[in-house]
Amino acid sequence: MAGPIPVAVVGVGKIARDQHLPAIAANPDFLLAAAVSRHGKVEGVPNFTDFESFLRDGPMAAVSLCTPPDVRVEMCLAAIEAGRDLMIEKPPAATLGEIETIIAAAKAKGVTLFATWHSRFAPGVEAAREWIARREITRLDIVWREDVRRWHPGQDWIWQPGGFGVFDPGINALSILTHILPGPIHVQAAELEVPSNAFTPIAARLRMQARGHVPLSADFDWRQEGPQTWSILVEAGDERLELHMGGAELTIDGRRVDVGPEQEYPTIYRRFAELVSARKSDTDISPLRIVADACLKGRQVATDAFHD
């Protein structure tokens, strides 16, 4: 590769600060060339408050899009039209129709598009995928319960249409599920608990089925205080695999397996550099399809108003 890839971070909020900026700073394949945000600023690089003026007047740089999903489609299409390689945070867009349009536009323009799923790069996930590939799975259960006040303080967009509610973290579990258990997954039933002052669910329970009629379940809840749970439990007859802490910990038949340190965002940027260099894209939308199907098939139940 001829020198580092200039990259602009767009949407300087929690995940940009916590993960993207440190991962870019630590990766010699990238050079932070600009930041684009209405309020957030990054020292040492040109800052733009508006995406259009960045595309028009800013440096020719790839775009790492960290804005909420409901404002992505126009930004993605503008970046692609301007010939920028593009990496987008999960969930890739607010609807299947939007992401399909984005994928088609990137293909037509010949730019790299990387729709990321950071949880797929959790250190236990690849070993889980290999374990599952050698067995007949008999059931799989996801338990993803966290405290929304701790992880999304003051983020109003998560409660608005297109904000995903508890599916914002839940889709991380579904991104692991669709990676370790490839093939069709059908939502059979879903119950979505929606606070009376919100438009998106604070909890969701899904019953699903994978190929071979394997039963799958997901229990997503944003009201868990104290210890947090991000677990996937897999059974193959008498054998049992457990992923905990979002895929950072792996247990097989009760024995902890050493999977190495957490490297999700450094790995995402390594993968983006590979894709840019090979002029390829990576755009799996299967986790988003499950969320859409759960919303189509889900039974909504009103629950207590939520106050941050």
Taking CB under 6 A as the rule, does residue 68 contact ligand NAP? yes
Site of tokens 């409901």: 70
Closest listed residue to residue 22, CA positions, set 277, 282, 239, 269 = 269
DSSP letter at 97 equals H
Using Cβ positions, the residue closest to ligand NAP within the complex turns out to be: 13
CB atoms within 10 A of CB 302: 9
* Range in contact with ligand NAP (rule: CB under 6 A) among 12-20, 126-134, 141-149, 237-245: 12-20
Closest to ligand NAP by CB, 210 or 218: 218
Spatial distance between the Cα atoms of 238 and 280, rounded to a whole number of angstroms: 41
Cis peptide before 215 (omega within 30 of 0): no
Q: State how far the Cα of 218 lies from the Cα of 216, in Å rounded to an integer.
A: 7
The reply to whether 11 sits near ligand NAP by the rule CB under 6 A is yes
When asked if residue 38 is in the footprint of ligand NAP (CB under 6 A), the reply is yes
| Closer residue to ligand NAP (CB): 155 or 283 | 155
Q: Is 131 an interacting residue with respect to ligand NAP (CB under 6 A)?
A: no
Closest CB 151 distance from ligand NAP, rounded Å:
6
Question: Given the rule CB under 6 A, which of 60-68, 95-103, 180-188, 239-247 is the region that contacts ligand NAP?
Answer: 60-68
Q: Catalytic: 90?
A: yes
User: Would you give the binding string for ligand NAP spanning residues 152-171, x where CB under 6 A is met?
Assistant: ---x-x----------x---
* Of 8, 11, 232, nearest in space to 122 by CA: 232
Interface pick for ligand NAP out of 45, 61, 64, 67 (rule CB under 6 A): 67
Residue keyed to tokens 């300087």 = 12
Active-site residue among 14, 41, 90, 280?
90
Torsion over CA: 18, 69, 168, 180 (sign): negative
Helix (H) or strand (E) holding 96, with range, is helix 96-109
Catalytic residues: 90
Binding-site ranges for ligand NAP (CB under 6 A): 11-16, 37-40, 66-69, 71, 89-90, 118, 151, 155, 157, 168
